[in-house]
Homo-oligomer: A and B are copies of this chain.
Amino acid sequence: MDLMQQFRDMRKKQEAYSYVMSVVGWDSQTEAPRGTFPRRADMLGLISAELFKLSTSQEYQDAVYGLFERLDELDDLSAREIKRAKKELDKVVKIPENEYVEYGKLVNLSQRLWEDAKANNDWDSFKGNLAKLIEFNRKFVKYYDPVSPAYNVLLDDFEEGMTMELYDEFFGTLKRDLVPFVRQVLKEGKPLKNDFTLNSFDPEKQKEFCDYLIDVLDFNRDHGLMKESVHPFTWNTHPSDVRFTTRYLENFVFSSIFAAIHELGHATYEQQVDPKWTDTELSGGASMGVHESQSRFYENVLGRSKAFWEAHYPKFQELFPEETKGISLDDFHRATNKVEASFIRVEADELTYPMHIMIRYEIERMLFSDELEVDQLPEVWNQKMVEYLGIEPKTDSEGVLQDVHWSAGLYGYFPTYALGSAYAAQFYYKMKEDLDIDELVRTNNIKAINAWLQEHIHQYGKSKTPKELLLDVTGEEFDPQYYVKYLKEKYSALYL
């Protein structure tokens, strides 16, 4: 169809703009000196204005909406593309321009306000903006979906197909089946020494170890690299160009290692997406949840397994002979799985992590259902921390103010983090039927695991929805019991 080709050509040109802006972003986040900011903002402003023009042009709208009206004439995948394109377009063109601009300013301002509020433990200075941001989001979703509950629209934006109903079931399961277990581990768990991990580890040697891990995990260096940044992240523009970062903290050696493995998981996914989806709406990882399932699989299932350290603790000892003196393989492996009730989500361990997400989901859900006022957030937050983790934040900075997301206007995003871990567990039990994972890890044959993931998950990009992927890979619908089972098996063995 001619219109489809026009659509693709226009889209590809937009990709080129996104591409150059992404490279500028990578540069800015990994090496550009401090003083380069104003000029970059100026130049990127002009380029992104051009991209905005292209991606909202009448010509592009005619193509997308025209094709959307003829969805039944398109093959399945083209139809899926057009649905995605239409959804994205709606989000921009259905919102009145003045409101869109006003919201952009509000987000900018709110992020600065939040930074100060967090630094000064000053919730009151931020809460007004938070209320406004939420109001904007409620209003905006109505423009492109006047029917569904606002929070459902947001949840679906971040993870296609997800709703409050589904998440309620998910988090309900965790609340019922996991919370008591977590509290048991925290209370009765065998003590574990990990003090040694907070000693000084030469950052250069940490770097050498992370570089070694790149080959261990069989990451393709022809199409990717690892670099440093303040906050670790994965960056990609195409399967042939996927990069990630970690950071080296002298007194927190696990930070560099597990951030590297985590990001490498995201990056391997992107490298293994079939390049045939390039320039279509179906390129890149399937969803945030599925992406997180991969990073968590590499980080927690592989990277924190006994088998992994049986294979690689010797290398670590070789690099850090003094620092590992008297630390057995067993000590070391257990230290990588230290469980602890803590206030800060991004520092939480694998077992307590979903508790942090549950709190955020429940609060967002109540906010968007008018069951909670912004004013009440700190109190509710702290109550839930006590309920799920048995500890109470002493300040809002280590409580309700800790995350950047809400100040950036992101609601419905958090639950994908926990969903990812749950997907990972369900994939894991399926993979175990096909592969002897421990043996492959122990014998340093991650290639076979990567190949399995490519065959069953990675290659498809967004051509399957998360729901379809789960079903095709595991033969079942999403089932959070796998996650509960995985955590209980693993942490019972380690702690009880």
Contacts and interface: CB of A to CB of B under 8 A. Distances in A.
Interface in A47-70: 47, 50
Interface string A1-30: 000000000001101110111011011000
Interface stretch (A37-45, A188-196, A254-262, A284-292): A37-45
Interface stretch (A94-102, A220-228, A386-394, A418-426): A220-228
A281 B17 CA distance: 25
A52 B277 CA distance: 29
A224 to B, nearest CB: 6
Q: Interface residues of A: mostly helix, strand, loop or mixed?
A: helix
Interface string A211-245: 00000000011111101000000000110110000
A277 to B, nearest CB: 13
A31 interface: yes
A223 B13 contact: no
Interface residues of A, number: 39
B46 A13 contact: yes
A326 interface: no
B19 A43 contact: yes
Given A23-B24, A27-B23, A222-B33, A47 B16 contact: yes
Given A23-B24, A237-B39, A12 B46 contact: yes
A328 interface: no
Contacts of A44: 16, 20
Interface string A297-328: 00000000000000000000000000000000
A16 B241 contact: no
Contacts of A13: 46, 50
A230 B40 CA distance: 26
Nearest to A225: B33
20 contacts: A12-B46, A13-B46, A13-B50, A16-B43, A19-B39, A19-B47, A20-B23, A20-B24, A20-B43, A20-B44, A20-B47, A23-B27, A32-B241, A33-B225, A33-B241, A35-B220, A35-B223, A36-B223, A39-B238, A40-B241
- Nearest first, the 10 closest Cβ-Cβ pairs linking A and B are A16-B46, A35-B222, A20-B20, A36-B241, A19-B43, A35-B223, A39-B238, A16-B43, A23-B24, A39-B240
